[in-house]
Structure 1
Amino acid sequence: MPNSKRRSRHRRNVGQEAGRRELVSRSLQSAQHCLENQDFGTAYAHYLLVLNLAPELKNDVKETFQYTLCKWAEELNSLTRFQDLFDCYEHALELFPNDEVICNSMGEHLFRMGFRDEAAAYFHKAVKLNPDFPDAKENFYRVANWVVERWHFIMLNDANRNLLYQKAIEKAVCSGCRSVLDIGTGTGILSMFAKKAGAPSVYACELSKTMYELACEVLAANDLDGEIKLLHMKSLDIEIPKHIPERVSLVVTETVDSGLFGEGIVESLIHAWEHLLLPPKPNDGRVNAENYGKVIPAGAIVWGMAVECGEIRRHHRVGAKEIAGVCLPETLEFHSPVYASVNSDESLEPYTTEKLSRVPGGYTALTEHFQILTANFNNLQELKSFATRKPSKINMPVIKAGILDAIVVWFTLQLDDEHTLSTSPSEDTCWEQAVYPVQGLLDYSLRSGDSVTMEISCQDCYLRIQKISLVTSEYGMDVERNFKEKNSEAELCSALASLQTTNALGQECMLESTEIALLNNRRYHECFKAAIGKVLSSLSLREHSMDVDSHSNELNLEKNQSKNSVTPDPLYVLDVSEGFSILPVIAGKFGPVKAYSSVEKEQHQVALGLISEANKFPKETLEFWLNHLQDENMVLQRPKSDKLWSIIILDVIETSGLIQQDVMEKAAISRCLLHSGGKIFPQHVKMYGMLVESRSLLLETTVQGTDPTLGFNIAPFINQFKVPVRVFLDMSTLPHTPLSKSVELLRVDLMNPYLNCSSREVKVEVCKAGHVTGIPFWYHVYLDEDTVLDTSSKSSHWKQAAIVLDKPIQVQAGDELVLDVQYRNSNVSITVKQ
């Protein structure tokens, strides 16, 4: 009987195996059939079944499965079925946990949805799995700037900053601080200073998943992973004894930005004093620091100064009343986001940042530097008072006549009573300065004897400088010059009457600072005006000539009666450049034209409408293209008429200095939508570059060994997140030495793609001995053969970028280097062949 049972089980197993093979075979056939019919969802389900039933087929179906997954994910994304999309990827990664293609694709979807940390982890994993996978490398380079911000490299290379922090921490530990909490540890360097100083208990917390994992690697490499307890959380969520056993005697932190408070140091220290720190030392002479708490830094003094700076002005105030023949209405006011945040309830940063020592054109101090406020981080009541403190008013006399463009802010960080560091523009430090651009005044000119007034407050954990005004002393009285003075009683009555029917403040429109710089770029608009005029004039003459040829008899009979009543068909212009653009309005001046703008924001559409009205355009001249589309992803379409586009305007260069993503795909679609004789603007772009020696480029992209980090091994781990391209450069102020003349590196042709080359070698002759550390590059943007824009010019709203070499190359005058230039998927890579 036992043998009979075994035979029965054997027959059952054989039958099950046959059934499994049959089901797998049929599922594979069904999957293939579904793929042929582009039914990707069903095909994906069949492949999942196959791989679960027959894992041995993984290698055989891997590529087809990857293709099916990507196609099905695109479909789910278009249907906004995001949970289903990520479920599919999770199932796929369970089957292929070490597949770089699936990891990269998962990262792309995460990044599109704003999950940068998570996307970076998948891109990083894909690169580790296959270092030669170009798509993953390009994606990782783009996202690395988000998850490990470039200031980490600059800060870690600031040896003086590191040394001052180390000395202050050593002093505190030696004076009795036995337990230390590092808030916002980053790479863990301050924690390691504390441990090296001899603190028995050291804890550190870090919210960023990427930085937390990086810190874990750093601690392990320095044999401190068992000595420092690292928590992946906000300090506000730390509980005793759940996360750390007891209150600590020292908190160290550098959660300060250029405006001091922008990273939430006040909020985190209030929580620390209330829940994580021992009470502060009383003023009764007792000195046993072990029983009391303290903070490094102990406090700060915030300083300010009024400045004139043309570069700040052109990014935050529109200076022109007329641009390439287009009049801007007086009722329309443009502001940058830092101005808008003053009048909103949102917790937006009320300032921007600049490295004042490297701002193009420099700056001029209009007042002496003045103290804005002091902060004592060891005083809980003072920290709490920041949020409730009434605004204070500061009045500063003008020491030099000029144009008021900004209030510049920096601080002195008092680590303890002995060690301080300053972020002043005159100091060589890793910090930039906070810049509060002055906007909304009718007169920005200052004279000696005038004064600048402002209100200072700390709202939403930000230092805010508001209600900036100019005061002139006349006839022994102080007179504010914020508002235009009415010259007569009649004007005043007229203004009061207008209040009943109009908004006295006019229409406000918020633009990004780069969009304001673009409006201030006169040459850009004049060049476009000239190029647009050539094309439209040529097409108008051509159409007129064709009409005359085909209808000459009718025209000869009727020309006397109807020559003034015939309205020619309009020419169609589509502007799909990024952001706010007045190019459609410029095109409208060449009527009869139907110009379409692709701006999305309602306030931008309103602003363009007001500009169109101010220039007395017929209402149908300007339309908003997205209002005509069912799918906004399909911007490049034929107009709803029997005509094609006469001109399509594309963005080819990002303001960061890189080539726009997918520009060649957009150009290919655009060429199919052009009227005969129509043009894409720009028609082609040439990329130029040169060899330079620049230590600044190195310091801003990679940590330079263990010297700046005082012997701790951090560089190999943070440098995993270095990128080969440094963006948003201004070559006019970058400290560098040119080692060659500029050479043409690449041509990108949008009208004639056969002229493009994805790979080329460029020979560069060295004209000066030195060490090549980088290859800065910029572009000449050809609207046509005679009309060229240079992205490196002083008036340009574009910045430059640079390839940074892994290792400097020593060269002598007369040497020749060969640059291997690769252009793929809108990404440029350059390697040097010696």
Structure 2
Amino acid sequence: MPNSSSAAVKAKRSRRRSRAPREDPARNELLSSSLQSAQQCLLQQDYGTAFVHFLLALNLAPALKDLARDSFRFTLQKWADELDGVGRIQELFDCYEQALELFPKDEVIVNSMGEHLFRMGFRDEAAAHFYKALKLKPDFPEAKENFYRVANWLVERWHFLMLNDNGRNRKYQLAIQRAVQDGCRTVLDIGTGTGILGMCAKKAGASEVYACELSKTMYELACEVVSANGMANSIKILHKKSLDMEIPRDIPNRVSLVVTETVDAGLLGEGIVESLIHAWKHLLLPPPTSEGVPLSSPPQTGRVIPAGAAVYCMAVECHEIRRHHSLCVSTVGGLDLAAAGHIRSPVRCSGHTDESSEPYTTERLSRLPGGFTALTEPCRVMDIDFNNPQELEGLSLRDAAELHVHVIQDGDVDALAVWFELHLDQENSISTGPDEDTCWEQAIYPVSSQCSVKRGDELLVEASCRDAYLRVSCAGVMKSNQTLHMDQAASAEAPSSNPELELCSALAGLQTHQDLPAPSFSLECSEIALLNNSNYHECFRKAMAKLLSSFESRGSEVKQESGSSPGPLYVLDVSEGFSVISLMAARLGPARAYSSVEKQQHQALLQLLARENGVHEDALEFWLGHVEDDSAVLQRPDSEKLWSAIVLDCVEICGLLRQNLMEKATLARCLLEDGGRIFPERIVLHGMLVESDTLLQESAVQGTEPTLGFNIAPFINQFTVPVHVFLDLSTLECTHLSEPAEMFVLDLMNTNNNYTSRDVRVRVNASGRVTAIPFWYHIYLDPDVCVSTFRPDSHWKQVAVVLQRPLVVNAGDWVKLRVQFHKSSISITAVREEEETAAH
């Protein structure tokens, strides 16, 4: 039998060889024709047809995928950009799905799809694609840069601070333990994040624990964390809002305890009231009656942790807040801003609000540059009982409470600062006040009208919960028993000896303003801070004036020689957001200035300022109205003309270089006339060595101790990014271990001067641990005029590279920094020179 089996095997093998695929002339002809057509369409820039031909060819002959990969990637990218440009979004994603069927593990295609998703606002999905691309190719720089940028959106930096806050975590744990010991054995964790509160409940002995999380990223993270801590089978996590949960579809019965920390700096901004009202109605056992329940039997009632909160506020004077929310200068770059009327920020709590406005912003008062002055004592604004469903339902219907707050210091009220004390239970509370070491910032309610107060005055503060937001506003000032409402107080003169005369004067002024209403424009906070940056605009005025003057001198020589007058100069400003640089250029000389501002009210504001500053209406144009799409924004003003100057916005407000900066500069250089210039012409990066535990706490979870022994750090630290943005170096808690040093140079006018990496030696002047390298930029508009992003009046923040492992150094050591630049991303590694020498 063995011999016969062997014969059978041989026979099968023989049959397989005899049935090898035969040549199919029709198939081969179609394949050849498709490939030829794809290449021909590429030459004709018909990317849509080329994509279809490539799909057909590669489906017919998968063996050709490696050979055609680069051409296919290029075709997909071009066709996707075209579809994106005309808004054919569904077709765009259909193309990517077809491409990924052919190349499921192609990191370039996966990353490119993520970029389109991110531009359309699908951040979770975009991050998943960037993360997948990095898994496919860990050293893929484009995916790495994209993931670092999106990670800050997906897992916001406060997650790290919160998890590193052992005091906060411990108090929540104690409150949960006590509730479970009191008989609350079934628990729902709303907005679970990493799952830490749900795990506290399970560890305390809860029989059933459920958790819900809306963010896909955080939901997947929580599942990983719970599994790693051995609780995957005992905690059920749902990827949905609690408002969408139902019994018995999502959980079998009502629970006896809801735990949540869906509170922001303004307490109610994350929707805690709405989610708790829904929970009391649909998911949670009813609250205890006034008679209570016997302790000997398990409670058939529900409760919430936190049990309630007390809200506090105080009035503050703070230049840093003022310059982001109010126009503080009357002129800028030679332009009179009086015609601008009242420029307001989108952060406002009173008056006429719209969908674009927010009732408050957030700041950590203890870190504000220049500090702040408390003008009143802290005042208790309201108390909220989260265990009283009726109170929660009536919260938004309450009339605004009016409080009289005594002024203890002369000054100008720039904002009301608000914080709260979160009562977890009867014994455990957490305060988010400005004097506390807490992971929370404070809520800032800017005062839109100028309001000067004297010691002994009383501020009238109104507080409500309209639209389920905490709204606190300054309604007026009581001076010598006379009440000035906020609009009156703004127009009142300095206090006189006659309060009645002062009040009448204020009312008369108010009437005048009613007859001739001043215009009102809304700008983003960063745009207002930019307008208030006088140094920035004065530097631009000097540099632009020198350039235009050089062209005028040359034009005069041409006129003398030829007798004909040269045409106007063309200046293009492609700054992001609102910018007056184009208007400054139009006012300085015979220039046609083009602005890329898009919003109609921004264009209206520029036109108004142009009229009031004597700029002819033909001298200012809005360039995006002349081009078909944003990608063509740097094109020539007309077929015969080149730009005399192009203003590029090089640095984001957060402190990062703008994406594709060098590509834009390369294109811009090709569009300059002889003698023309890009502003800026050069960017010099400066940095220093620092030791900062604060940056470590805000960048990654530091082991298991702060997280109560739960293993969370390895999972959330996947979203750690090496570059910490929106940093204010002037108030950062840190020790300077070196002097500032020049670290890198980007030449926008001469590409031959650029490089991709540079080694820098920095001398240590104090012993310690190098944990980070903060950096900022000197932006050279010309060889003599420089703007720094590290000034008290700067509208930019700074950034810092946080080292993965702190570097122990002693005074006198030399540290070698390897600074690398890829596209718009800066990376820095550090090593002691002694260690590097020993390694070699």
Q: Which of the five TM-score ranges fits, normalised by the shorter chain?
A: over 0.9
Report if aligned partners of 1:335, 1:508 keep a CA contact under 8 Å in 2.
yes
Structure 2 vs 1, CA of residues 165 and 830 (structure 1 numbering), >3 Å: closer, same or farther?
A: same
1:791 equivalent to 2:789? Answer yes
Residue in structure 2 matched with residue 144 of structure 1 by the alignment:
151
Q: 1:531 and 2:540 equivalent?
A: no
Q: Find the aligned partners of 1:26 and 1:597 in 2 and give their Cα distance.
A: 48
Q: Distance in 1 between matches of 2:36 and 2:339?
A: 69
Q: How big is the shift at 1:633? A: 2.8
Structure 2: 5+ residue runs without aligned partners? 1-15, 494-500, 833-840
AA in 2 matched with 1:83 = Q
User: Is 1:333 the equivalent of 2:334?
Assistant: no
Distance 2:341 2:313 in 1: 31
The 5 Å alignment of 1:207-606 reads: 207-286=214-293, 287=295, 288-330=297-339, 332-339=341-348, 343-346=352-355, 348-439=357-448, 441=449, 443-466=450-473, 468-473=475-480, 476-480=481-485, 481-484=488-491, 504-551=516-563, 569-606=567-604
Give the Å deviation of 1:781.
Answer: 0.9
Partner residue of 1:179 out of 178, 186, 202: 186
Farther off after superposition, 15-24 or 353-362: 15-24
Find the partner of 1:744 among 742, 745, 756: 742
Q: Higher mean Cα deviation, 227-236 or 675-684? A: 675-684
**Partners of 1:347 and 1:251 in 2: CA distance:** 33
Deviation at 1:821, TM superposition (A): 1.1
Conserved? CA contact 1:576–1:598, under 8 Å = yes
Output the CA distance in 1 between the equivalents of 2:513 and 2:354. 29
One-letter amino acid matched to 1:360: P
Cα distance, 1:20 vs structure 2: 4.0
Question: Which residue identity lines up with residue 547 of structure 2 in the other structure?
Answer: V
Cα distance in structure 2, aligned partners of 1:256 and 1:543 = 63
Q: Secondary structure at the match of 2:558?
A: helix
Greater shift, 811-820 or 363-372, is seen at 811-820
Taking a change above 3 Å as real, the CA distance of residues 410 and 590 of structure 1, as seen in their structure-2 partners, is same
Out of 120, 129, 141, the residue aligned to residue 127 of structure 2 is 120
Which secondary structure state, in structure 1, belongs to the residue aligned with residue 348 of structure 2?
helix
1:105 matched to 2:112: yes
Report what 1:561 is aligned to.
none
Displacement of 1:494 in angstroms is 10
- Aligned-CA RMSD value: 2.5
1:96 maps to which of 89, 100, 103: 103
Residues 33/114 of structure 1: CA separation in 2 closer, same or farther (3 Å cut): same
Give the Å deviation of 1:121. 0.5
- 1-structure distance, mates of 2:822, 2:684: 16
1:809 to 807, 812, 824: 807
Task: Tell me how far 1:479 sits from its aligned partner.
Answer: 4.0
Deviations, residues 19-53 of structure 1 (Å, cap 9, x unaligned): 54454344334333333333332332233223333
Percent identical: 57
Give the number of aligned pairs.
807
Instruction: Answer yes or no: is the 8 Å Cα contact 1:765–1:817 preserved in 2.
Output: yes
- How has the CA–CA distance of structure 1 residues 690 and 417 changed in structure 2, closer, same or farther, with 3 Å as cutoff? same
- Candidates 692, 702, 723, aligned match of 1:725: 723
Matches within 5 A, 1:553-702: 569-640=567-638, 642-702=640-700
For structure 1, the 5+ residue unaligned runs are: 1-8, 555-566
Alpha-carbon shift at residue 652 of structure 1 (Å): 1.2
SS in structure 2 at match of 1:102: helix
3-state secondary structure, aligned to 1:343: coil
- For 1:438 and 1:326, locate their aligned partners in 2 and report how far apart those are by CA, in whole Å: 26
SS in 1 for 2:347: helix
**Does the aligned pair in 1 maintain the 2:340–2:609 contact within 8 Å?**
no
Q: Distance in 1 between matches of 2:110 and 2:334?
A: 52
Do the aligned partners of residues 248 and 347 (structure 1) sit closer, same or farther apart at CA in structure 2, a change above 3 Å counting? farther
Match of 2:170, as an amino acid? L
Q: Secondary structure at the match of 2:699?
A: coil
**Given the alignment of the two structures, is residue 81 of structure 1 paired with residue 88 of structure 2, yes or no?**
yes
Shift of 1:822: 1.1
Q: Report if aligned partners of 2:476, 2:483 keep a CA contact under 8 Å in 1.
A: no
Indicate if the aligned counterparts of 1:645 and 1:674 stay in contact, CA closer than 8 A. yes
Corresponding residue to 1:44 among 29, 48, 51: 51
Give the drift of 1:637: 2.0
Q: 1:595 to 1:47 in 2, by over 3 A?
A: closer
Tell me the CA shift for residue 272 of structure 1. Answer: 0.1
Taking the aligned partners of 2:796 and 2:743, their CA distance within structure 1 comes to 18
* Structure 1, 520-529 or 18-27: larger mean CA deviation: 18-27
For residues 584 and 50 of structure 2, the distance between their equivalents in structure 1, rounded to whole angstroms, comes to: 51
Q: Distance in 2 between matches of 1:491 and 1:811?
A: 63
CA distance in 2, matches of 1:235, 1:313: 38
**Is the deviation greater in 348-357 or in 580-589?**
580-589
In the alignment, the residues of structure 2 paired with residue 260 and residue 519 of structure 1 have an alpha-carbon distance, to the nearest angstrom, of: 32
Q: In the superposition, relative to structure 1, how do residues 302 and 498 fare at CA in structure 2: closer, same or farther (>3 Å)? A: closer
The separation in 2 between residues aligned to 1:594 and 1:51, in whole angstroms, is 52
Return the offset for 1:411.
0.3
Distance between the aligned counterparts of 2:511 and 2:692, measured in 1? 60
2:173 is equivalent to residue 161 of structure 1? no
Instruction: Report the alpha carbon displacement of residue 605 of structure 1 after superposing the two structures with TM.
Output: 1.1
Q: Is the 8 A contact 1:262 1:349 kept in 2?
A: no
Task: Give the Cα separation in 2 of the matches to 1:252 and 1:784.
Answer: 58
Question: 1:467 offset after TM fit, Å?
Answer: 5.2
Tell me which amino acid in the other structure corresponds to 1:312: I
Judge conservation of contact 1:332–1:610 (CA < 8 Å) in 2. Answer: no
Letter in 2 for 1:698: L
Offset of 1:471 from its aligned partner? Answer: 2.8
Superposed CA offset, 1:588-627 (max 9, x none): 3323222222111111111111111221222223222222
SS class of match (2:104): coil
| Aligned residues of 1:693 and 1:773 also touching (Cα < 8 A) | yes
Conserved 8 A contact 1:178-1:290: no
The 1:325/1:471 distance shift into structure 2, 3 A limit, reads: farther
Q: Judging changes above 3 Å, is the alpha-carbon distance between structure 1 residues 374 and 786 closer, same or farther for their aligned structure 2 residues?
A: same
Question: Kindly tell me: are residues 654 and 341 of structure 1, through their superposed partners in 2, closer, same or farther at Cα, counting changes over 3 Å?
Answer: farther
| Distance change in 2, residues 1:628/1:71 (3 Å) | closer
Contact 1:249 1:289 in 2 (8 A): no
Measured in 2, the distance between the counterparts of 1:205 and 1:496 equals: 55
1:334 maps to amino acid: I
Letter in 2 for 1:282: T
How far apart, CA to CA, are the structure 2 residues paired with 1:568 and 1:72?
42
Determine if contact 1:349/1:462 at 8 Å carries over to the other structure.
no
Shift of 1:684: 0.7
The 2-side partners of 1:384 and 1:116 are apart by 33
Change (3 A) 1:200 1:493: closer
Letter in 2 for 1:227: S
Rounded Cα–Cα distance in structure 2 between residues aligned with 1:54 and 1:576: 47
- Structure-1 residue corresponding to 2:838: none
TM-score scaled by length of structure 2: 0.92
SS in structure 2 of the partner of residue 589 of structure 1? helix
